[in-house]
Amino acid sequence: MFKRILIANRGEIAQRIIRTCREMGIETVAVYSQADADALYLRQADETICIGAPPGARSYLNIPSIISAAEIADVEAIHPGYGFLSENSHFAEVCNSCNITFIGPSPESIEAVGNKANARALAKKAGVPIVPGSDGPVPDEAVALRTAKRLGYPVMIKAAAGGGGRGMRIARNDPSLVSGFHAAKSEAEAAFGDGTVYLEKYIENPRHVEFQILGDQHGELIHLFERDCSIQRRHQKLVEESPSPLMTPELREAMGAAAIRVAKAAGYHNAGTVEFLVDKHLNFYFIEVNARIQVEHSVTELVTGLDLIEQQIRMAAGEPLSLRQDQVEQRGHAIEVRINAEDPDRDFKPSPGRIEMFVPPGGPGVRLDSHAYSGYRIPPNYDSMIGKLMAHRPTREHAIRCLSRALGEFIIEGPKTTIPLLIKVLDHPEFRSGDHDTGFVARHFGVTPAKVPIKEAR
C-alpha cells in the first residue's frame, strides 16, 4: 500500500480524500493556489505545497507545478479528485512516466471514453442502447441538417469533449440547428479546446440514472447500483439519490449489466460512472462515462457501506476486488443535495465572499461533506459548491423528511445559498411522489426564479 499520496485538487474533495487516507494510515500532501491559503483541507493534510496563482490554469490545472510538488514531496501516487485534471489522459500518462501512480483508470481508458462521440461508438459495439444520433462527429451544417432530418426534431447538439453541461444546445427546427451548431462548437472550443460536436435525438423530460462501477486491474468489474440524478438545473445535478424511485429489479439488472459491458469494452479499471437517460416507457439509453470519482459518489457509499475513495486507492495499488457482485448490498435510501453559494433569486449568480456564521446540522441519518467554516472566504475563482448534505434512512420518505429537517437547521450567514430552493424541491409533491424528471426544476422553479417566493437563507 502507498505511504504517501498527493491530492491534485482542492475544497470538499481534497478533504474527503484526506479523511480516507488518514483512516488507512496514508500520509497526505495537499496542494493549493494562492486563493486557497486559508482552506480547511490544508490543516488536515500532513504537508502542504503552494502550486501557483488563483486561476486554475496556473495552479490546479498546471501539470508541471503539480508534478514538481509530487517529486519534492516524494509521493508514490496522485489522487486527482473530480474536475481539474481528473479526466486528462495526458496527465495520467505523465504521472505514469514519472513513476507516480495515477489513482484512476489507465490513460488509454480515459482516452477511449473521454470523447463522448467515441464512447457512443464503444457502447453501441458492446450492444448497449445509445440515444439515436449522428454516426460520430458532425463536421458541418449540411451533415447536421441531414442528420436532424433523419432523427426528427427536437435534437441536441453536444460537445464531444463536453462536461458540466457546457457545449450543449437544443434545436427544434433548421434555423435553430444551424445557429446552435455554431454556438455549441465555439463554446466547446473555448471551454475544452476541442470544437468537435455530435447530434442526439432530444429525449423529452427523461430521467437521469447512472451506475457506479468499480474494477480492479485483474479484469474484475462490478457495479454498485444506481443513482438517480434527475433533479437538475441547466443540465447540472442538484439532488442525487439511491435507489432510483423508478427502478424495477429487471431494469436494474439490465442497466447494471449494460454498464459493465461498456466498462469492459473500454478496458476500464478503478471507479467510474456509466450514465444513462431513461424515457417514460423505461427504455434506457447510454449517454456517457465519467472516468473519475463523482461529486455524488457519497450517496452510493451510504447505501452500500463502502468507502469509494478507499476502493479507488486499493484498486490503484493493484489489489484485487474484495467483493463479488452478489455481495454488494443496497441498504435503505440515501439522498444528497449540493449546497452552492449562489443566489436563486438572481438566476443562480455565484455569491462568493466571507461566511460570517456556519452552523452545520446533525442528528440521526445526516452526513455533511463540506470544507466551509465560520469566517471562511469563498474564493471567486472556482466552482460555487460549498458542501454536500446527505440523509440516509430506511425509506425514501423518511430520507426526504430527514434531509429537509437538516437543511432547515443549517445556518450559513453571509453568501446567498441554494438551501431555500433545495428545501422547496424536497417538499414538492412531485418530487415526493418520485415521479419527476429532468424538467422538474425548469418547470417549477427555473424559468423565473425571482418570481418564486423563496424563504430567506438563514
Catalytic site positions = 292
156 lies in the binding site for ligand ADP (CB under 6 A): yes
- Contact yes or no for 138/197 (Cβ under 8 A): yes
Q: Binders of ligand ADP among 233-262, rule CB under 6 A?
A: 235
Residue from 2, 32, 84, 202 that binds ligand ADP (CB under 6 A)? 202
- Crossing angle of helices 141-151 and 174-192, in 10° steps, is 120
Listed as own residue / partner, the contacts of 89-93 with beta carbons closer than 8 Å and 24 or more positions apart are 89/114, 90/63, 91/63, 91/66
Q: What mask of x and - would describe binding to ligand ADP in positions 371 to 410, judged by CB under 6 A?
A: ----------------------------------------
Q: Between 47 and 383, whose beta carbon lies closer to ligand ADP?
A: 383
* Helix, strand, coil fractions of the chain, as percent rounded to 5: 35, 25, 35
Check residue 323 and report its DSSP letter: S
Least distance from C-beta 148 to ligand ADP, angstroms? Answer: 13
307 lies in the binding site for ligand ADP (CB under 6 A): no
162 lies in the binding site for ligand ADP (CB under 6 A): yes
Phi, psi angle pair for 281, to nearest 5°:
-95, 15
Report the Cα 137 to chain-centroid distance in Å.
Answer: 24
440 lies in the binding site for ligand ADP (CB under 6 A): no
Q: Between 214 and 287, whose beta carbon lies closer to ligand ADP?
A: 287
Beta strands in 36-161 (DSSP E): 47-52, 77-79, 101-102, 155-159
C-alpha torsion sign, points 25, 26, 27, 28: negative
Least distance from C-beta 6 to ligand ADP, angstroms? Answer: 27
Q: Between 48 and 232, whose beta carbon lies closer to ligand ADP?
A: 232
Binding-site size, ligand ADP (CB under 6 A):
18
Residue from 100, 110, 184, 287 that binds ligand ADP (CB under 6 A)? 287
Q: Cell digits for 121?
A: 461508438
331 lies in the binding site for ligand ADP (CB under 6 A): no
- What is the C-alpha to C-alpha distance for residues 85 and 81, in angstroms, rounded to an integer? 8
Closest CA to 350 of 388, 378, 389, 377: 378
The burial class, CB within 10 Å (0-12 / 13-18 / 19+), for 192 is middle
> How many helices (H) does the chain have, and how many strands (E)?
15, 22
Q: Between 131 and 308, whose beta carbon lies closer to ligand ADP?
A: 131
208 lies in the binding site for ligand ADP (CB under 6 A): yes
Q: DSSP 3-state assignment of 288?
A: strand
Residue from 11, 105, 114, 206 that binds ligand ADP (CB under 6 A)? 206
Q: Between 360 and 439, whose beta carbon lies closer to ligand ADP?
A: 439
Least distance from C-beta 155 to ligand ADP, angstroms? Answer: 8
Please count the other Cβ atoms lying within 10 Å of the Cβ belonging to residue 288: 21
Residue from 64, 127, 139, 164 that binds ligand ADP (CB under 6 A)? 164
Least distance from C-beta 150 to ligand ADP, angstroms? Answer: 15
Least distance from C-beta 212 to ligand ADP, angstroms? Answer: 15
Q: What mask of x and - would describe binding to ligand ADP in positions 105 to 144, judged by CB under 6 A?
A: --------------------------x-------------
DSSP 161-207: T--TTTTEEEESSHHHHHHHHHHHHHHHHHHHS---EEEEEPPSS-E
Q: Between 136 and 163, whose beta carbon lies closer to ligand ADP?
A: 163
Least distance from C-beta 277 to ligand ADP, angstroms? Answer: 6
Q: Cell digits for 76?
A: 508514490
Q: Between 139 and 165, whose beta carbon lies closer to ligand ADP?
A: 165
Looking at the DSSP bridge assignments, the partners of residue 128 are: none
Phi, psi angle pair for 129, to nearest 5°:
-65, 135
Q: Which residues bind ligand ADP (CB under 6 A)?
A: 131, 156, 162-165, 200, 202-203, 206, 208, 232, 235, 275, 277, 287-288, 438
